[in-house]
Amino acid sequence: MGACSSQQRRPAQVQKPGQNSGPQAVAEEFKVGPEIFVTLKQGSISNFYKMDKNLGSGAFGEVRLVIHKSTGCKRAMKQIRKDKIIKDDEDNMFSEVNTLKELDHPNIVKLHELFQDAKNYYLITEYEFLEGGELFQKITDMKHFTEKMAADIMKQILGGVVHCHEKKIVHRDLKPENILFENRKPNSNLKIIDFGTSKKVESNQNLTKRLGTPYYIAPEVLKRNYNEKCDVWSCGVILYIMLCGYPPFGGQDQEILQNIEIGKYEFDPEDWAKISDDAKNLIKRMLTKDYNQRISAQEAFNDPWIQKNAPNAPIDFKAIKNLSSFFGKNKVRAALMQFISTNLMTNAEKEGLLAEFKKIDKDGNGQISKDELVQVYLKQYDEIKAKQMVDDIFDKVDTNKSGYVDFTEFITSAANEEKLLNKQRLQQAFNMFDTNGDGQISRDELQEIMGRNR
* Residue 450, number of CB atoms within 10 A of its CB: 17
Instruction: Tell me which amino acid residue 136 is.
Output: F
What count of other Cβ atoms lies within 10 Å of the Cβ of residue 222? 15
Among 83, 117, 173, 382, which one carries the catalytic annotation? Answer: 173
Q: Under DSSP, is residue 62 helix (H, G, I), strand (E, B) or coil?
A: strand
Rounded Cα gap, residues 345 and 257, in angstroms: 44
Cα–Cα dist 324/267, whole Å:
50
Please list the helix, strand and coil fractions of the chain in percent, rounded to the nearest 5, in that order. 45, 15, 40
Q: Residue 91 belongs to what H/E stretch?
A: helix 87-102
Phi, psi of 122 (to 5 degrees): -135, 120
CB 371 within 8 A of CB 383: no
C-alpha–C-alpha distance, residues 235 and 272, integer Å: 18
Partner residues linked to 199 by β-bridges: 170
Residues with Cβ within 8 Å of residue 166, at least 6 apart in sequence? 6, 365, 367
Whether the Cβ atoms of residue 141 and residue 133 lie closer than 8 Å to each other: yes
User: Other C-beta atoms within 10 Å of 264: how many?
Assistant: 10
Write out the binding residues for ATP. 78
Give the C-alpha separation, 326 to 329, whole Å. Answer: 9
> How far is the C-alpha of 240 from the C-alpha of 282, rounded, in Å?
10
Q: What is the CA radius of gyration of the chain?
A: 22
Closest CA to 304 of 275, 327, 284, 278: 278
- As a whole number of angstroms, the longest Cα–Cα distance in the chain is 69
Active-site residue, 391 included: no
Residues annotated catalytic, as ranges: 173
